[in-house]
Amino acid sequence: MTALRRIYFHLILLFLFSILITPDISFALKCINTKFLFDMKPGANQPSDLSIAPNGDIYLVDGVNNRIIVLGSDGRWKFDFGKEGTGSGWFKYPLGIDISNDGKVFIADSGNHRIQVFDLKGKYLYKFNVESESNAYGSDPVDIIASRLKDYLYVADNENHNIKVYNRKGDLQFKWGKFGEEYSEFRYPGIMTANEYNEIFVVDVLNTRVQKFEPFGKFIASIGSWGVLQGNFFRPKGVTLDKYNRVFVSDGYMGVIQAFTDMGTFLGVVCKKNKKRVFDYPVGIHIDKNNRLYVVEMKGNKITVLKIVD
């Protein structure tokens, strides 16, 4: 890094720090208030994502330790599964997870360039490789959605900057996206979620936005833009929807979670008593049917559970 670039980088950090410590009232903060319920600290090392099973159990991706941790809805430890390696049921830095309505656990086994499938007890079922357009680096599946539509599996390929769609057998059905900044293009797609209409929301990390698509890849809307103020992202990481179809997006660097309409109108920042909540590098997030918000705090090595009250 040149001296000029280093000075520029430090100036950005100082500006961000000043934003974080500035009282919220100076921005006429729009809040979505939440109530703290409890923390879960299961001994993970930089966890990345979570999903909730039909019975309420919480499945946490503990990628550095190459395993999945399973907790009860109250945070009580149940069991874990997986270890480092390339064999069936083993992992190499897994990142994303989703659980289908029929109780299959789908893991984006990023370092092994594949998707692995388990039952709810952690029993290995099968796997399939995620194909790559790049012979040099291979694929980098970082998240997966198990859709109700035709049992499609949507895979975010971070290395090839696209979304690949497979059937449950692991056969590629179609794909969309390429490297770029236009709509339907990506710069490192990450965590995804889907709504009741099977529309897909993709965190487009370096383009600092979330893109919304129809189930077959047609672009619908862009949510957010680069910046450090309300309605902006510096490094978006996770995305989830609540029962009102509000889109919640975590920002790892800024440590906040913001909400938007599903067409991109900013609604508010996740707050506590009208003051923004700051998390320790929030990544994967999830809202359950009881309107509880689960936040994976990567640097805090925990899951924070909140009740959305607004």
What does residue 219 show for φ and ψ, rounded to 5 degrees?
-65, 140
Examine the pLDDT at 23 and tell me if it is beyond 50. Answer: no
- Say whether pLDDT at 27 is over 80: no
pLDDT in tens, 60-81: 999 999 999 999 999 999 999 9
Q: Is residue 287 within 8 Å of 293, Cβ to Cβ?
A: yes
How many Cβ atoms from other residues are within 10 Å of residue 227's Cβ?
Answer: 12
CA distances from 149 to 93, 114, 280, 286, 302 (A): 29, 22, 35, 21, 33
DSSP state of 276: E
- 108-167 pLDDT per residue, tens: 999 999 999 999 999 999 999 999 987 778 999 999 999 999 999 999 999 999 999 999
- Residue 289 and residue 53 in contact, taking contact as beta carbons nearer than 8 Å: no
Give strand pairing partners of 295: 285, 304
Which pLDDT does position 253 carry in this prediction?
96
Coil, helix or strand at residue 171: coil
Strands of 153-157's sheet in order across: 141-146, 153-157, 162-166, 172-176
pLDDT tens digits, residue range 200-222?
Answer: 999 999 999 999 999 999 999 99
Label the pairing between strands 105-109 and 96-99. Answer: antiparallel
CA 87 to mean position of chain CA atoms: 26
Q: Tell me the mean pLDDT in the region 17-34.
A: 64
| Through-space distance between the first and last CA atoms of the chain, rounded to whole angstroms | 45
